[in-house]
Structure 1
Amino acid sequence: MKQFGLDSYQHTRIQHLSKGNKQKVNIIQALLPNPELLLLDEPISGLDPDSQKRLVDILTQLKKAGTTIIFTCHESFFAERLADRSIHVTQQNIKEVMVSRENNQYRTIEFSGATEALLSFVSSSPFIMKHVCQTSSPHIISVHAVKSNEVIGEIIALGGTIQFVSRQMDMLPMLGSNDNGKKQVKK
C-alpha cells in the first residue's frame, strides 16, 4: 500500500475509492501471493503518471525475479518498457508480432552429448544464460549472440552434436520448468 500511496486509505471501503485507487488495490491483490504467472488486463488504466511509473518499476523487478507477466494495454510506452514479445491485434486479427531488442541479443542452441567435460563447460560458461535439459537429451541453452559461434565450437570440440540454433531470439521463456519432462538446470 505504501508503494502506491494508499496508506491513508487503509480503512476506506473500496467502493469509496477513485477508479485509479481501485485499480491500485486490484494490482496489490494480484501481487500479494507473489505469483509465478501474472495476468494483467490494462493494468495502467486509471493510474496517474507517478503510479504508472511505480507499476512499471514493480513489474520490472518481478520480471527480473522470474515472474512471467502477460498483459494487455493500449499504451505503447508500457509495452516497450516491459514486453519481451508484443502481439498487436487489430479487428480480431494479429497484425504483427515483435520481439524486443533485448531478446535479439541471444541465441537458443539445442545439442546432444553428455561427456563430463561438456557438462562442465555448460555449467560454468559465463556466456550461457539458461540451460534446460531433459533426462536423456537434448540440452537447450540460451547464449549471448556475439558468443554463440564460440560456444557452438566448444560444444562440438567437447563431443557434442548441434541439433538446432535459433536465428534471432531466446526461445527459452516459452519453456516452463516442467514442460515435457524438462527441468531448469541453470538460470
Structure 2
Amino acid sequence: MSTTTNLLHPGTEHREEREEERNQDQEQEEEQDHEQDHEQDHEQDHEQEEEAYPEFEALYSAALQAAGLPRIYWRNLLQKISEEVFDAGEVFGIVQTQDEDGRVVGSKVVVTRESGLQVSDPNSVFLVDHAWTFHVPDARQQLRRVPGLMPRMAALMGLDFHGEIPDPETEDLVLNQIWKYCQTYQLSHGVIW
C-alpha cells in the first residue's frame, strides 16, 4: 500500500490508512455474516429434511422397496427431491452403437465421472428429469407404440386427447408442439432430443 504525505494537513495519511483498515474490516465482517447466514440456511434445510424423513419413509418405503432401491440411498433421495438436484449428467452419459449404415442398434449408460461411482456411497442415487427421450425420425412411431406416451405428451402440452390410440391429427399436434419443450444432449454418435 502506498501512502502520500499531505504537507498542508499533516497526519491525514494515518487517518486515510485507518479508514481503509476500517473498510477492510467491515468487508470481512459482511463476508463472515454472509457465510454464517448461508450455514444457518443449510442447517435449517438439513433439520427440515431430518424432520421430514420419517414421514417420507412411512409414505414411500413400500414403493422404494418394490423398486429395489436399497435403504442406504433413501435419505439422499429425499434431499435430492427436496432440493431438485438433477446431477445424473455429471456422472453418466449415453453411448450408442450404430451399424455400418448409421442406424442405432443399441445404447448403454456409462459412468463418465473420472472418480467413478461407488455403490456404497449414499449419494449414488440420481433423479432423471425427462418425459421422453427420442430421435426425431423415430418420434411418430414411438408415439404410436409406447403405451401411455401419447396421453402423457398431450396432457403435458395441454392438448385434448381421449383414449389410447392416437389419431394422425393429434400426432401432428404433438410433434409440432414438442419443440417448445425439447432440450437436446450429445451422444458419442448423433444427437438425442
Both proteins in one fold, TM over 0.5: no
TM bucket, shorter chain: under 0.3
Larger strand share, 1 or 2: 1
| Greater RCO (CA < 8 Å, at least 6 residues apart) | 1
TM-score of the superposed pair, with normalisation by structure 1: 0.25
